[in-house]
Amino acid sequence: MSIYDIGIETAKGEQETLTPYKGKVMLIVNTATKCGLAPQFDGLEKLHQDYKDKGLAVLGFPCGQFLNQEPGDNSQIQQACKLNFGVTFPLYGKVNVNGGEAHPLYRHLKDRAKGALGTKAIKWNFTKFLVDREGRVVKRFAPTDKPEQIEGEIARLLNEN
């Protein structure tokens, strides 16, 4: 199965896939507005603004699995991200990233890019997955890897084609 075939839910509850992002580099991130790493929204937004016209799609997937640091519903999350962090990149419906209820997108990502010591589980909010223009998961970044630290790898992927 291709990453583009996986069903995802928009923040408004509509079903779609990642097909609109075919041919783009994607940075897929599990987000949480109440997390101590939430200032990374600023860096993610900067990447979005700097590279969206060059083929980057930053995609946020809110998740409340880590100490319930994303307690709101989809509407509240959208509002908090816009008002508190100025987020304009797409945020999708709230998902689980681990366990039996893990979203199929995250099962796909974790199968193709393992974490430290070969683990599959997502350790915390703001784990980032970089996907190339062909839909291949090329790298997984730790929650503490700031967006500006991975900018060079994003730019390299964008310049390959």
**Residues recognised as catalytic:** 35
Which helix H or strand E contains 60, and what residues bound it?
A: strand 56-62
Length of the chain: 161
Residue with tokens 């996907």: 131
> Which letter does DSSP use for residue 124 in this model?
S
Distance separating alpha carbons of residues 136 and 113, to the nearest angstrom: 10
Residue with tokens 């994607």: 26
Strand-pair partners of 10: 92
Q: Tell me phi and psi for residue 139, to 5 degrees.
A: -165, 150
Listed residue (125, 157, 119, 122) closest to 143, CA to CA? 125
